[in-house]
Structure 1
Amino acid sequence: MHRRALLTTLAMTGQDRAPAPSTAGRSADPTTPRGAAVLLDRIASVASRSDGQKVTDDQFVYVRTLETGSEGELGGPLKLGKPSEREVWTSQKAGPVIDVGLIHQDGSYGPITVGVPDGETPVGYPAGLNRPTYTWLASLPTDPDALLRRLTTEVTRDQDSRDTPAEDRDQAQDVFDAIGELLPELMPPKTAAALSKAAAKIPGVTVDSDAVDAAGRHGIGVARDDTRTGRRTTWISDSTTLEYLGRRTYLTRDTTMGEKGTLLSKSAVLERGVVDALRERPSIEKPSAGKPSTT
């Protein structure tokens, strides 16, 4: 099970078309791979100098994002939905845990749980690639080569557990996607830096010189084309601070999902932090003693 499945579908907002193919995904450097490597090295340098945050196993990591989902029948053209703000609180317990956290979207709260069908003994999910706690992220190798090997092993193990057919696997793309799933998380500076350096070693990574996240913020992106599905995914960073902003995915060729250039998803990270209870927000005063937040 991919962690993304725990948080319902991804989303997008804004325009329903990507920039013209003649400009989208073009490297800021004529030597595209080198341009991506330079950008990722700069992002890693900035991340390594950022302030870390102490997170304990009994706390929750809070992430607020803006997302927009794509709608449509399976195998048919996709229609964009409306943008929606989402708040997620994730448990930091090492696990295995069944109660992973809480999600707030479209005016309602819902528990994020994992387990098995009714009638069987529920099985919790441990901390790991699909449930990346702060402690687990801190345990990852900070050497980019070692980290790339670790992520490759984790991705392969996950695919094996789901009996993913060999023809549906692309090691480089799957590791790129796995790193992309981790980027919105709150993590130690050294881990964030190592992930950027590891991504620079993935073949086919390019620079998207002007990418827009779900909040309409322009930035510079790191992109890669998934030749299996005809999609390009871009991780967007602020052009000045190089802080991670969000991501977008769009079609690079005509498919049953839509025409070339059709946006499939956009997201924007609006706030991240650490809290002591569900429904508590970093920017708001903590609940008073004796009145803990619950689902």
Structure 2
Amino acid sequence: MSMTPEQATWFQGTFHRLVENIDKAVQGKQEVVSLVLASMLAEGHVLLEDAPGTGKTSLAKALAATVQGTSSRIQFTPDLLPSDVTGVTIYDQQSHKFEFHKGPIFASIVLADEINRASPKTQSALLEVMEESKVTVDGVTHEAGRPFLVIATQNPVEQAGTYKLPEAQLDRFLIKTSIGYPDLDTTASILAGASDRNPSSGLSAIITTSAVADMADLAATVHVESAVLRYVAELAAATREDAGVRLGVSVRGAIAMVRLAKVWAASRGRHYVLPDDIKTLMAPAWQHRLMLDAEAEFAGTTADVVISRALASVAAPQARTAA
């Protein structure tokens, strides 16, 4: 059953209240907050490439507080082990049984700070849980629960002692974005409240985690025209056929776009997806999935350039039939 116009209106109002609540802790970044929140409702994950001190931890804590969920922070370092992330099974001498001690990955919102500083073995520990929302330790599967959002960060400035994320893991992030520095007025406002070292602590929950799961299920019922689906497929193919690209957008990337576009449309009060939703989301949803040719990159080609060329080469559908 497809989402009704009345449900879309309710979704829009709830979504905006969530964004406004988070904005109390992460001021002046409603567009980024909307993208991250949409990713959570699309049951995807976020890669933040940003300089230190831009509010990444505050965003994760504020989001968790707003949805009455739990949050954890994992500082990725070269000596971090996979069991430090997922948890470990320990033998209890009193009960004579093996007990699973959950790692920090078992939280509603997980901040994986400087993920590229950990070894590839530890990075790969995130693959299953990010894709399937579950962890398998010693043959036993443990569910991560809903909602479950990984916000991983990378520092674009410092590359010494880092491990580049493999393409397989990059493809599992729904979006890549950055918070960036606030404008002058917002900075002054933040400085005025600098005595509060944890701005998210005063936030009240707007909805429960079970309601978030219901919103995610509702967003999945947003109508997508066959013409819009074909538009996404043609855009993905255009990125693969671009002369400056070694690896374009995968089928997983196209599926991720549709999932995200459904949430984005609902957050705008619509029960159907428009081609403009796809255009808006292409950069955050696809730029990290593109592997550029070395010569083209040296000549100045960027992921944004490839996306612009794809948009220019593929005509958007004009008409829409009734849902």
Please identify which structure carries the higher helix content.
Answer: 2
Q: What's the TM-score bracket when you normalise by the shorter of the two chains?
A: under 0.3
Please identify which structure carries the higher strand content.
Answer: 1
TM-score by length of 1: 0.26
Pick the structure with greater CA Rg.
2
TM-score by length of 2: 0.25
